[in-house]
Structure 1
Amino acid sequence: MTTKTPQKNTTSRRARSRRGLLGHLWSLLWKLTLVGLAVVTFYSIYLDQIIAQKFTGQKWHLPAQVFSRSMALYPGAAVSHSQLMAELKLLGYRKVANPARVGEFSASSTRIELWRRPFLHPEGDQLAQRVMISFDSNGVSAVARMEDKRQLAVFHLEPVLLDRIIASDGEDRLFVPTEEMPEFLVQALLQVEDRSFYEHHGVNPIAIIRAAFVNLTAGRTVQGGSTLTQQLAKNFFLSSERSLLRKVREALMAVIIDFRYSKDEILEAYLNEVYMGQDKSRAVHGMGLASRFYFGRPVSELTLSQQAFLVAMIKGPSYYNPWRSPERIQERRDLVLRLLMDSGVLTTQEYKTAVESPLGIRNLNKPAHQKLPSFFALVKKEVNERYGDALLKQSGVKIYTTLDPMAQEAAEKAVTQTLKSLDKNNKSLQIGMVVTDKYTGGIAAMVGDKTPGFDGYNRAVEIRRPIGSLIKPFVYATALAPERQFTLATPLKDQPITLKNEQGKTWSPQNFDKKFSGQVSLITALKKSLNVPTVNLGIAVGVSAVADTLERSGWQEPINAYPSMLLGAVSGSPLMVAQVYQTLADNGVYRKLTTVTAVLDADKNPLPVTRLPKEQAIAPETDFLIQYAMQQVVNTGTATRLGNAFPGVGLAGKTGTSNDSRDSWFAGFDERNVAAIWVGRDDNGKTSLYGSSGAMAVYLAFLKERPPISLRAIPVPGVVKGFFDRETGVAKQANCSNVDALPALSSSYRPIENCGEPLQWWQKIL
């Protein structure tokens, strides 16, 4: 019988111990692997749910887009050749010798050939279209389609995208589907950022290894290995934290995204998500918005050089900021172009042309979006009233407004330049200005502060100041109504007068110059803005009747029907004045002024809107007489300086000044726009300005920026050419001596026979 030696037993025990330890380690490793796999599986399921929720639902909250009015061109439209040229420049159209693509136009002295962009109109999609627009002295004379020379009844330009109402996250974006992205831009992106995009499964191990080697060799990070899918995962779900755990999570999410969605879906998401810079407090995301932000035009119209610029910006929008470091971004852009040439995407000649192109970025002084605090405040108020305050929180809403960008620009320039000149003595002047579209009844422009972009107290809407003589046309409109017997030639007393109210207090109105003429004609009293004849006329027709005329014309606040009201002891705002003068300009028709014309939801469906009714506030024939008289105010009355500035142009207007020159007012109109302007001080202090020297100076500057279109003398049924004795105002025949020719209501024009002289014996025989 043999026995084991102690050494062999010890060796055996050690071997069994090692096998047992390895077994335990293997068991532990296997279990840990299972746990790890379970954790990764469950974590992947968790990430998959997060990703699915983001991708399957709405990927982004798209800010509500606010658009200007869409310029309508048709035969007879009050749009001049120069005004259309300015509109095309604002929209970013390119002037060329012969339009060959969308977004281009050519121009001669009387015609403009235009290749319009496609756009979404409230009434439906508008296709790209090439047209010829012809002009005459009155505006547009014809609009013809180039392909078949067919005359168009109406042709719309795309509206200007004024701004976007940003959500609380501060992100700004314009969604552009992949099919509307330039093919070269997509090729450049893939070539520079992820050449194997269509081959890998979300993560590219070879690229990661290559980047790690390059970075180790350089001793710093000079190359990234992330795919577009990884970048998208980081932008959508992760922070900018630099850690191994974040990179692992990024890679895992990229794999899930690649498994779940097609490459085209991923690419579209990236093109609209990628961070492209900062517009002050707004983060600029996506190629669509970046194109507008850097170049002021749609991404579909960018040159090859500009598309390469956008791809170059991805590497570091802050570092390559073109306004701070133009040489950096140009060097980076040229590198992108060289890579594209080396890969065969660009020819040598295309490369040379592109690198020799200037950056072409927009002027930094021209904002990427309009600062219109006064107007936008009114838009938001109207949207809330019509659709509820939840609308602006919805994604993808499109709001179409009445704002005319060219009118707004002219108003802002007029305000800035004129107030600077008027306020040389530091009177702390302020201003409120409203411009309306005479034809549509929409608000075309609004300025609520001498610094137009200041977001604060809106004097165009919120002030309440005595409107002075701006009320006078409504006094005269009351008297010239068909049921009354007044004419423009009716003599009015211009003599001292004292009135007593119910409390026994007396009031003795005075003319501006403290003088009296004894008697003046009705039209003279209006064009010279005489107070005493106006009070006499108002008393004759009834103060309450005048108040009723003003209310029917659109005055929305209570009026105290006291005699002092006849001279403007009624407080209002420029918006309130613009409302009633819009009625005067629109042939006596009252329509409530509006800022919003249409709203589309995210699916491009129009939201229901109630059309505001029209009311004939002032008889058309009476309104014709008032418009005629207001033109005489400009020609030979208190607004003569305005008439002298635009000889031969028919303009209507009225100046107004409150007591002690505290408030300077002007309201007037041409064939296209109505304007109401107040100039004064917030503390209601004296300004030493009159209506003609203050507010009218702003209007004059406005018309110099936006040349007026002469009022059209369109005959009105019920109005005839009358002849009236200069002294007595008696209606006479045309062949009588000492008569003035004035328009008159046919219902009340009864000229006396034989000029009021006794018949001769031979006339009796005949």
Structure 2
Amino acid sequence: MALLAGLIIYSIYLDQIIARKFEGQKWHLPAQVFSRSMAIYPGAAVSHSQLIAELKLLGYRKVANPRQVGEFSASSTRVDLWRRPFLHPQGSQAEQRVMITFDSQGVESVARQSDNRQLAVFHLEPVLLDRMIAGDGEDRLFVDAQQMPKAIVDALILVEDRSFYEHHGVNPFAIVRAALVNLSAGRTVQGGSTLTQQLAKNFFLSSERSIVRKLREALMAIIIDFRYDKDEILEAYLNEVYMGQDKARAVHGMGLASQFYFGRPIAELTLPQQAFLVAVIKGPSYYNPWRYPERAQARRDLVLRLLMEAQQLSVAQYKVAVDSPLGLRQFDKSVQQKLPAFFAVVRHELSERYGDALLQQSGIKVYTTLDPMAQEAAETAVESTMKQLAKRDKALQVGMVVTDKYSAGIAAMVGDKVPSYYGFNRAVEIRRPIGSLIKPFVYASALTQADKYTLATPLKDEPITLTNQHGQTWSPQNVDKQFSGQVPLLTAFKKSMNVPTVNLGMAIGTDAVATTLDKAGWPDKISEYPSMLLGAVNGSPLMVAQVYQTLADNGRYRQLSAVTHVLDMDNQALAGSPIKTHQAIPVASDFLVRHAMTQVTQSGTASRLGRAFPGVTLAGKTGTSNDSRDSWFAGFDERNVASVWVGRDDNGKTGLYGSSGAMAVYQEFLRQRAPISLRRTPVEGVVQGYFDRDTGVAQEADCDNVMALPALRESYRPVRNCGQPLSWWQKLTGS
């Protein structure tokens, strides 16, 4: 009776432990981190090839005619897509079949197949980039019982516990049978544990082999079976079972195993793939399909044979299934993306906007701005270009940031010439002189003064010496050490001439330039010395990307971000601090600067870039610091803004200009991710002007020696008579 009383008391104790686990939070689910959700709408800057690449990345299958979710077909100008259902930050999206049509500018139309209705916007599901796991090292994707394929459940019960629905947590007959088999074999070849016992061990116990542990496991299994229904037990097992190892991460549950082995959601697995997931439970290391493919396939085929013998598969279905390959994902593509630079920014932003405790919550979903295709292109560009540059200097390093012009989100980031390197993030952490990358903000400051400056205004290009309050002198030089007397403002800009820029900056005031840069999003205080006009301002690729994003976005400052939404375990949005925004540069003035930047790529210091992509309008600016220590480039097409730095960590000389170092990385990026030509949308307040090439005076269109340039309406007052003296009749009549 004492033993019975002790057993009852101990059972009550175990019951409380089990109840807390089952009725509370069964697992600490890792925070899921997603990429941006590609938005497709009429006029979207998405090409036909880019959409197909995105679909392949998401694991969609290309077929002749889509017949189920997760499939698509494509012609030269159309894509017929059957999209999966998914959770969007703004609400659940149902499965939907659409026809997407393309023209030379991008997306032409999006029509729903069921009724041919034109859609204003259509989203693809985001890519699951990573899961920020807890300290236990376990990783899983929860799948509820209703979403679990029936074949997996049937096969699991057949292989692991045929009497699952009959026993009460423990199967004495299976234990006796296993004991006899093991005795006759002289070793352990068969187990007698039920699914419920395995669950009890995985949830509450260690893998220690002892009679005490087995008795405790059996008692807990009986309690679990008494308290909870079979389907709930089965759901817990299917999400808890150990399925393999992804480097340091333990893969738990069928949902994550589907992604780990096949790279697609469990609902889209073929029957042989579902059978493999059940097969691998017996020994994930022993049946590792990448290391032991024949062993793994034989085990899968055994599961298929058991399904056939149980008449859950026909003989024909069985033959087709066993003849199919395993269909594994490429092993070199981890379930988790290697994005150390980007994830460092994500973690920092989550802490700043949502608080340090956010990642301690279970089951949160973080939606980011990362564009997987842009990231892949950036990494490829960095690796290939830096490999070439290493032939002249192995110590060269790189930092690169790409933004989405429309959302002001960070689309890609690389912080090292080895993109997967976890360490110093040069995209964010370096502070180096930005050189001529500051010049667009000098010219933007001037062009806001419509009564004084146009793109045609002559600027002095003569020797100049400036003296500071300590008597020290500074005599800036052009790169070629030559002077031309005077040049039009546009020529000084596109040729990146130093002396005219300094003359212009001193005329408008260094304080005006510093103010423009500050409004555009430069986070650090700027020392207003004349040398700042030529880029004696320290910054990082992220800081440069921020201010160039402002230029690309019609002069509108929007704080760059890496996180768009955060949902809690119940899929409710969490409130974070808002993103800052304001108009930093007048829209019309910004248009003139962007026009000047397109001339840089056509006939200026970045003309090699323009020649590499004929017929595509790009905007850009090269930058080089003193003694060629830092090579910079910043530019944009219709979709992305990019900022690139190339230099040495020890600040040594590189011998590179902006065009030969950083621009080479950007050029390779565009080869990997075909650019979309800038759309020169008319801007209110900007007109087509005509100016005398020598004097910069506004003229009529039919005058001689004029150049056509965009101009602010208020600054364009053409001189009648093409600058010639008026006749007495014109003076009298005012004609």
- The interval holding the TM-score normalised by the smaller chain is over 0.9
Equivalent position of 1:277 in the other structure: 244
2-structure distance, mates of 1:207, 1:386: 55
| Identity of matched residues, % | 74
Instruction: Say whether the 8 Å CA contact 2:457–2:488 is kept in structure 1.
Output: yes
Of 746, 749, 755, which residue of structure 1 is paired with 2:713? Answer: 746
Whether contact under 8 Å (1:427, 1:687) holds in the other structure is no
Report if aligned partners of 1:438, 1:673 keep a CA contact under 8 Å in 2.
yes
User: Does the alignment pair 1:260 with 2:251?
Assistant: no
- Provide the residue aligned with 1:438 in structure 2: 405
- Equivalent residue in structure 1 for 2:641, among 674, 679, 690: 674
- 1:90 is aligned to 2:85: no
SS of the aligned residue for 1:169 comes to coil
Give the one of 537, 543, 546 matched to 1:570. Answer: 537
Q: Deviations over 1:462-497 (max 9, x none)?
A: 100000000000000011004542010111111111
Structure 1 counterpart of 2:674, from 693, 707, 731: 707
Aligned to 1:605: 572
Q: 2:605 aligns to what?
A: 638
| Structure 1 letter corresponding to 2:427 | A
Give the one of 400, 407, 412 matched to 2:374. Answer: 407
The residue aligned with 2:200 is: 233
User: Can you list the C-alpha shifts for 1:185-241, whole angstroms capped at 9, x where unaligned?
Assistant: 111111111111111111111111222222222222222111100110111111111
- Aligned partner of 1:617: which letter? A
Contact 2:544 2:643 in 1 (8 A): yes
| Aligned mates of 1:464, 1:256 — CA distance in 2 | 62
Question: Does residue 287 of the first structure (1) align with residue 254 of the second (2)?
Answer: yes
Equivalent of residue 478 in structure 2, options 508, 511, 526: 511
TM-score by length of 1: 0.95
Q: Which residue of 1 is the match for residue 316 of structure 2?
A: 349
Partner of 2:435: 468
Contact persistence 1:482–1:747 (CA under 8 A) = no
Cα distance in 2 between the residues matched to 1:342 and 1:549: 77
SS of residue matched to 2:609: helix
TM-superposed deviation, 1:353:
1.0
Is contact 2:450-2:712 (8 Å) kept? no
Instruction: Report the CA distance between 1:113 and its aligned residue.
Output: 0.8
Task: State the 1:758 CA deviation.
Answer: 3.3
Partner Cα distance (1:72, 1:573) in 2: 30
State yes or no: 1:153 paired with 2:120: yes
* Deviation, structure 1 residue 763: 7.1
What letter matches 2:84 in structure 1? Answer: R
One of 614, 636, 653 as aligned partner of 1:686: 653
CA deviation digits over 1:658-700, x for unaligned, max 9? 0011000000000000001100000000111110000000000
Corresponding residue number in structure 2 for 1:181: 148
How far apart, CA to CA, are the structure 2 residues paired with 1:115 and 1:270?
A: 32
CA contact under 8 A between 1:398 and 1:599: conserved in structure 2?
Answer: yes
Q: Deviations over 1:18-75 (max 9, x none)?
A: xxxxxxxxxxxxxxxx122112111111111111111111100000111111100111
The alpha carbon displacement at 1:728 in A equals 1.0
Equivalence map 1:347-746=2 (5 Å): 347-746=314-713
State the distance in 1 between where 2:392 and 2:714 align.
54
Match of 2:110 in 1: 143
Measured in 1, the distance between the counterparts of 2:713 and 2:393 equals: 53
Equivalent position of 1:209 in the other structure:
176
Contact kept? 2:158, 2:307, Cα under 8 Å: yes
- Distance between the aligned counterparts of 2:723 and 2:170, measured in 1? 104
1:496-542 CA deviation, whole Å, 9 max, x = no partner? 11111111100000000111111110000000000000000001111
Shift of 1:97: 0.8
Letter in 1 for 2:301: D
Conserved? CA contact 2:434–2:538, under 8 Å: yes
Q: Which residue of 2 aligns with 1:64?
A: 31
Alpha carbons 2:354, 2:577 under 8 Å: kept? no
* Residue of structure 2 aligned with 1:116, choices 50, 58, 83: 83
Corresponding letter in the other structure for 1:673:
N
Q: Which amino acid aligns with 2:232?
A: E
The CA deviation at 1:559 is 0.3
Query: Counterpart amino acid of 2:684?
Result: P
| Cα deviation 1:677-728 (Å, max 9, x = unaligned) | 1000000001111100000000000001111110001000110101111111
The answer to whether the 8 Å contact 1:67/1:162 transfers is: yes
Tell me which residue corresponds to 1:21: none
Q: Which amino acid aligns with 2:710?
A: P
Question: Structure 1 residues 541, 459: closer, same or farther in 2, change over 3 A?
Answer: same
SS in 2 for 1:255: helix
Q: Which amino acid aligns with 1:135?
A: F
User: TM-score if structure 2 supplies the norm length?
Assistant: 0.99
Given candidates 153, 158, 162, the residue that maps to 1:191 is: 158
**SS in structure 2 at match of 1:747:** helix
Residue identity matched to 2:184: T
The whole-number CA distance in structure 1 between the counterparts of 2:729 and 2:359 is: 84
Q: For 2:436 and 2:120, how far apart are their aligned partners in 1?
A: 42
Report the 3-state secondary structure (helix = DSSP H, G, I; strand = E; otherwise coil) of the residue aligned with 1:603. Answer: coil
Long gaps (5+) in structure 2: none
Cα RMSD after superposing both structures: 1.2
- Structure 1 Cα separation of the partners of residues 97 and 190 of structure 2: 47
Rounded Cα–Cα distance in structure 1 between residues aligned with 2:719 and 2:268: 71
